[in-house]
Structure 1
Amino acid sequence: MGQEQTVATLQDAVRDPARMTHAWLLTGPPGSGRSTAARAFAAALLCPDGGCGQCHECRTALDGSHADVTVLATQGLSIQVKDARELAQLAQHRPSVGAWRIIVIEDADRLTERAADALLKALEEPVPRTVWLLCAPSVEDVIITIRSRSRHVRLRTPPVAAVAELLTRRDGIEPAMATYAARAAQSHVGLARRLARDEGARGRRRDILRLAGRVRSLGDAMEAAADLAAIATQEQSASSAERDAAEKARLLEQLGADPEARTQPPHIRSQLNALEKEQKTRATRFGRDVIDRSLVDLLSIYRDALVAQAGMPVELVNADLDDDVRALAQHLTSEQLLGAMDAIGTARERIEANVPPLLALEAMAISLRLPR
C-alpha cells in the first residue's frame, strides 16, 4: 500500500541470502505500517514460499504466535533493561521450528541507554539464524549505537487514496467516509479506521480543530488547554478501565486468590501493586499519545490555513471545515500561522520531555490567541 520500494528491498532479502543481514531498522511516520511491515517480513522469512500469507508459518508469524517470533511492544514510557536482557539471551538460542529466530521491537525509540547497552553485544556479535527487526519513527529517534549496527529501511506515509481503498476493501467502510477518515487521519491507517467507525472520535476531533478559532483572551487560552487535557483524560479512562479490571481479575485467578476478599496475603498484594504500577505507567503513556495526536490534528488546521492563504493547489486535510480554515487564514498573517505551528511543535517537544501536559498546553494556548 504505497510502500513498493520497501517491499522490494525486503523481498530481495528473503530471496537472496547475500542481501540478508542480522538487524534491520524500519522507520516511518506514525501510521506508515512499521510493525505491520516487520511482521510481514518475519512471515516471509519463515514461509517455505517466501511469504504466501496463507500457510501456518505466515499466519502465526503475522499474529505473533509463532514459536520463533518474539514481539516486544511496550505501552509504557520506555523499554526497561530487564526486557532488553531477556531478548539478548533469547537471541542466543537457535530457532525452534523455523529457519530463523526473529525478534521484533516495535518501539525501538523507547529503549533507554542502559537497555540499548544490554542489546549491544547481541547486535555486535550476531548469532547465525537470528534476525532483529527494530521499528521507530525515524533514525534519529534510535540510540546511535543501535542504529549504526542495523540496516535502515524507510517507509513513507501512504497516499490518502491507498488508505481509503484499504478501509473500503478490508473493513467494508463506505468510500466517502473512508476518504474523509484517511484524509483527516493524514494517512494513519489505525486512526483512519477509528475515525470511520466512531462518531464520538470524529466529534472530539472537530472540537479540537475549532479551538483555533475561539482562543482570543487569556481566559479562552486556559479553557482551551483544559479542554485538550480533559479529552485525553476521557479517552484514557475509556480505554483503560475495562482492560485494567480484566488484568487484575486474571492475575488473581492465576494466583488462586479470592477476588471478593477484603484483604489479600502479602505476596498477592505485592504482585497487585506491581500490576497497578505498570497500569499507571501505561496510562501515562497513553494520555501523552492522545494529547500528541490532538496536537497533530490542531496543527493541521493551521497548515490548511497557510495553504489556503497562499492559494497553493494542495488538498486540504480538513476540507470538511473549509469555513473554519478560511476564517483562520483571514485573521492571521502567514508569519502568525507559522508562529502558531511552532508553538504547537514546542508543546509536543515539552510533553515528550516530561513537562506536565497541562502546563505545556497552557503555554501553547497563550501563543495561539487570535489578534483583537
Structure 2
Amino acid sequence: MGVFDDLVGQDQAVAVLSRAAAAAREVVEGGRGAGMTHAWLFTGPPGTGREDAARAFTAALLCPDGGCGHCDQCHQVMIGSHPDLEAVRPQGLSYGVKQTRELILRAAGAPTQGRWRVILFEDADRATESAQNAVLKAIEEPPPRTVWLLCSPAPDDMMITIRSRCRVITLTTPRTQAVAHMLATRDSVPEPMAQFAARAAQGHIGRARSLALDEGARSRREAVLSIPKALTGVGECITAAERLVKTAEEEAAAATATLNESETAELRKIYGEGSTGKGLNRGLVRGGAGALKELEDRQKSRATRIKRDSLDAALLELVAYYRDVLAMQFGARVELANDDLRFDLDQQARGGTPEETLRRIDAIMLCRERLEANVNPQIAVEAMMLSLRRG
C-alpha cells in the first residue's frame, strides 16, 4: 500500500504527484527530472485532504522507493519526525513575518540524508502580506534540493507572484460513495453509519470520520440543525445565539487548556523559574516576562482561531440545511446532505418560499464574513438568528 492510496477521490492529483516523484528520483540519481519543480501549491475545498496530499508527496520524495508506505522514511514523514521535513501549521489567526523568516532559515540547510529538504507549510493563506513576501523571496532562489509545499483553500488566497512560481495541485471534493467506502474499509464503520456520515459531511473527510466515530460530534450536529425550527421569537433567537457562541468557547477552552499549561510551564522552566544555586533566584530571569507575554498572546490567538473555526463549522452546517430546503422547494433531484432530517426539511420547505430560503443563506454567509472581520461573535450571531427567523 503506497502513500498515495490514502487520498480519497483524487486520482488526477495522484497521477501528477506520482510522475513528479518519479522525476525527483531521476534528479537524485543525476538525471534531468523533467516534471519536478521546487515549489508546489496544494489547493482545494476544506476537508479534501490538501495537507494529506502534500505529506504523501513528501514521503514519495524522501522514500527511496517513491513512497512505499511501510519503510522508516515514510513512517517518519507521516508522524512528522523526519529530519528533512520542516512542517509548520499556523496556530493563531495569522502567521507573521518574524516566524516566516525563522522558517526560511531552518529551510536553508542541506538535506541530511541526501535526497530533498521539504518545507510543508499548511494553511499558508494565514501568512500575512509581509510573510508571503518573505516566502516569495525564498522560493525565487531556493537552496539546492529544497522543495516548498504550500497549502491553501484556493490559489487566490496566495499572492499572484507566489502562485506564478508554484505548480498548482487542485484537489476536488470526493463523492459520497468514495468517502463511505473509505470509512467502511479503513475505520470498520458499519455501512449505514458510513453512508450517513459521508453524506452529512459533504465530502469533508475529517468531518465524515468525526461523525462516524464520535457520538459527541453527532450530538453537536443535531443541536445546530435543531436551530431553524426553534427560532419562534426574538427571545429564542438570542438564546440560540448565546448557546452557539458558548459551545464554541467551551470547545476552544477544552482544546487549549492542557496545551497552554504545558507550554507555560516549559517556558517558565527555560527562563529559570524555580532554579536554585549561587547567583540564581526562584523567579524568571531577565527577558522571561516578555517571552511569557508573547506566549500568552499566541495562546490567545490560537484560542480565538479555534473558537472561530468551531463557529464557522456550525454555520456551514446551517448553510447545508437551507441548501437542502431550497432543493426541496425547487424539486431538484440532488442528494440531500441532511436526508436523515427529511421531515424537518419538508416542513421548512412548505412553510416558506425559495426567496426566503436564499435570504437565510445570505444571512449565514454575511455572519461568516463579519466573524472573519473580527465583529463580536455574540452580536454577529444574534443578527444572523434574527434574519433566519424573518426569512
Indicate the residue corresponding to 1:361 in structure 2: 381
Superposition deviation, residue 274 in structure 1:
2.7
Hey, what's the Cα distance between the residues in 1 that align with 2:314 and 2:141?
42
Structure 2 residue 9 is matched with structure 1 residue 2? yes
CA 256–89 in structure 1, closer or farther in 2 if over 3 Å, else same: closer
Superposition deviation, residue 76 in structure 1:
0.5
| 309-318 or 169-178: bigger deviation | 169-178
Does the 8 A contact of 1:331 with 1:370 survive in 2? no
Matched position secondary structure for 1:103:
strand
Indicate the residue corresponding to 2:150 in structure 1: 134
Structure 2 residue 313 is matched with structure 1 residue 287? no
Match of 1:310 among 330, 344, 351: 330
1:91-141 deviations in Å (ceiling 9; x for gaps): 332211141111011011101011011122211223321111000011111
Indicate the residue corresponding to 1:77 in structure 2: 93
Structure 2 residue 191 is matched with structure 1 residue 185? no
Superposition deviation, residue 14 in structure 1:
1.2
CA 262–343 in structure 1, closer or farther in 2 if over 3 Å, else same: farther
Indicate the residue corresponding to 1:350 in structure 2: 370
Does the 8 A contact of 1:163 with 1:187 survive in 2? yes
Unaligned runs of 5+ in 1: none
Residue identity over aligned pairs, in percent, reads 49
Q: How many residues align?
A: 370
Indicate the residue corresponding to 1:213 in structure 2: 229
Match of 2:179 among 163, 169, 189: 163
CA 257–166 in structure 1, closer or farther in 2 if over 3 Å, else same: farther
Indicate the residue corresponding to 1:246 in structure 2: 262
Does the 8 A contact of 2:230 with 2:236 survive in 1? yes
1:218-269 deviations in Å (ceiling 9; x for gaps): 323222222211121121122222222233334344555349x996556444
Amino acid at match of 2:17: L
Hey, what's the Cα distance between the residues in 2 that align with 1:145 and 1:362?
40
Indicate the residue corresponding to 1:200 in structure 2: 216
The residue correspondences of 1:259-278 to structure 2 (distance < 5 A) are 267-278=287-298
Structure 2 residue 348 is matched with structure 1 residue 328? yes
Matched position secondary structure for 2:34:
helix
| 216-225 or 70-79: bigger deviation | 216-225
Indicate the residue corresponding to 2:22 in structure 1: 15
Matched position secondary structure for 2:203:
coil
TM-score calculated relative to the size of structure 1: 0.94
Hey, what's the Cα distance between the residues in 2 that align with 1:326 and 1:98?
61
Hey, what's the Cα distance between the residues in 2 that align with 1:263 and 1:98?
45
TM-score calculated relative to the size of structure 2: 0.89
Matched position secondary structure for 1:369:
helix
